[in-house]
Amino acid sequence: MLRNKDRQLTHKARAQSENIAFRVDVTDRAAQQLRTAGQDFNHWLDDLTDEQLIEKIPNINERLDYVCSLAVEAQKDSAEFIGRIWDIRITLGKLATRVKNRHNQKEGGEC
């Protein structure tokens, strides 16, 4: 039979799981923006002649800064996503420990 603390932990794990689903959307959007910006940059650079490439070095650096800022945002979103996964693991670990300890107490109490 589940105890009150066990139920609290199961509810917490479910709530944390819902947060992961939300973060997947945010992380996916950030990754898509980064992918699109990288592809756009690549196509833009491919269309430049060697002379244009040299002339447009300041513009190239600006575009690289933009792509880099998107990469940083995607990395932040991914780090937060990983943190939420670990939150669930910790909650599940606490629940598993409680169940194991209760099982060990039952075995130890029997003669």
Residue ranges in 4-109 assigned as alpha helix (H)? 4-46, 50-55, 57-109
Q: What is the pLDDT along the chain (111 residues), one digit of tens a residue?
A: 568 888 899 999 988 888 777 677 778 888 899 999 999 999 999 999 999 999 999 999 999 999 999 999 999 988 988 999 999 999 999 999 999 998 898 887 665
Kindly list the domain boundaries of the chain, sorted by start residue.
Answer: 16-99
pLDDT for the residue numbered 62: 97
